[in-house]
Amino acid sequence: MEYRKIKDEDDDGGTVSDDIESLKGKGFPGVVSISNVPPKEQAKWKRKTIVTLALTFLTSSQAILIVWSKRAGKYEYSVTTANFLVETLKCALSLAALARIWKSEGVTDDNRLSTTLDEVIVYPIPALLYLVKNLLQYYIFAYVDAPGYQILKNLNIISTGVLYRIILKKKLSEIQWAAFILLCAGCTTAQLNSRSDQVLQTPLPGWIMAIVMALLSGFAGVYTEAIIKKRPSRNINVQNFWLYIFGMAFNAVAILVQDFDAVMNKGFFHGYSLITTLMILNHALSGIAVSMVMKYADNIVKVYSTSVAMLLTAVVSVFLFGFNLTLAFFLGATVVSVSVYLQSAGKMQR
């Protein structure tokens, strides 16, 4: 019998077991074995996976944590102090990264903190823009829910693209212009309201705040990129440090103007909770994660993270806040995801 023959051959010379041993490490035709991937490539893919998961988690949880930090529909803590702590934490993280560089590479002209007035004087403008945008980020939730915020936040892609064309004189491809139109259509579709006489779920003040935030974010981003590329050899952590220093200064002024009496009477950390602390940590780490994407990954990672974050935020909001996941929202989120992908593809084809 055939089975008997194979068994006898195995008993006699071990031919079957020898053949199996000889196949180990060789793999099969057309199939890439992980053992054949160079260690550097394995490490690169590992970093890329970690960065993608981190950015997706941070992006999707950002709006959820802000809404979750409210009590009875309002913030019991001072949003200006929260913003100040975010900038302080980012500044500390930049210093920690610089300290590591100084230890391994030494202090050079490109990574030293000492600078000139001409170099530093440009940072107050983006720092002030980010201050206003970050404060509006809290107040917009009086008009939108967490999933709606994630959708409308993508409007900054349009403002960034247009400002790239105006300020940096970069030509936009036809695919990118088409992506902008799709993005507007997707945002509008996701906000359609079939359960009341009001056509859109988000009222006019919410849309105005979203558009203002998009313009501020776009202008600040383009302006910051222009600063960074003006001296490309300058260490990014040094540039971030000075940006965050001015961010801390402007937020300190905001505390004095807006919440001075509350801070003096109730304390700096009045109303803070575990959720508030996690929200501050999330905001600080999100900036670091975006920097890591630029260094270790690519635009596809940002597209993937943005698309998945919109859906994750919606699903989690169903359980936490009773969000009604409608067909209009799902279709709108899908169109927005496609437009974000097309905008990224158009950028690579320029």
Query: Nearest-CA neighbor of 350 among 174, 123, 104?
Result: 174
Decide: 152 and 336 in contact? Cβ < 8 Å: no
Tokens 């602390």 found at: 277
Q: How far is CA 193 from its chain centroid?
A: 28
Res. 32: pLDDT tops 50: no
Q: List, for residues 80-101, the tens digit of each pLDDT value.
A: 999 999 999 999 999 998 999 9
Is the pLDDT higher at 115 or at 27? 115
The predicted structure's pLDDT at residue 350: 56
The predicted structure's pLDDT at residue 301: 60
CA distances from residue 194 to 29, 187, 200, 293, 326 in whole angstroms, order as listed:
55, 15, 9, 39, 9
The predicted structure's pLDDT at residue 25: 47
Res. 131: pLDDT tops 80: yes
Is the pLDDT higher at 247 or at 297? 247
Distance CA 2, CA 6 (A): 6
Most confident of 112-121, 155-164, 221-230, 248-257: 248-257
75-79, 173-177, 198-202: segment of lowest average pLDDT: 198-202
Phi/psi region, residue 279 (left: phi>0; alpha: psi -120 to 50; beta: rest), is: alpha
φ and ψ at residue 191, rounded to 5 degrees: -95, 0
| Helix, strand or coil, per DSSP, at residue 303 | helix
Count of CB atoms within 10 A of residue 300's CB?
15
Q: List, for residues 251-305, the tens digit of each pLDDT value.
A: 999 999 999 999 999 999 999 999 999 999 999 888 777 766 655 555 556 656 7
Q: How far is CA 127 from its chain centroid?
A: 18
Structure tokens at 267: 């304390």
Go through 132-159 and write b for each residue having 16 or more CB atoms within 10 A of its CB, e for each that does not. Answer: ebbbebbebbebbbbbbbbbbbbbbbbb
Res. 225: pLDDT tops 80: no
Mean pLDDT of the chain: 79
Is the pLDDT higher at 169 or at 108? 108
The predicted structure's pLDDT at residue 270: 92
| Helix, strand or coil, per DSSP, at residue 235 | coil
18-27, 37-46, 250-259, 303-312: segment of lowest average pLDDT: 18-27
Count of CB atoms within 10 A of residue 324's CB?
12
Q: What is the largest CA-CA distance in the chain?
A: 94
The predicted structure's pLDDT at residue 170: 75
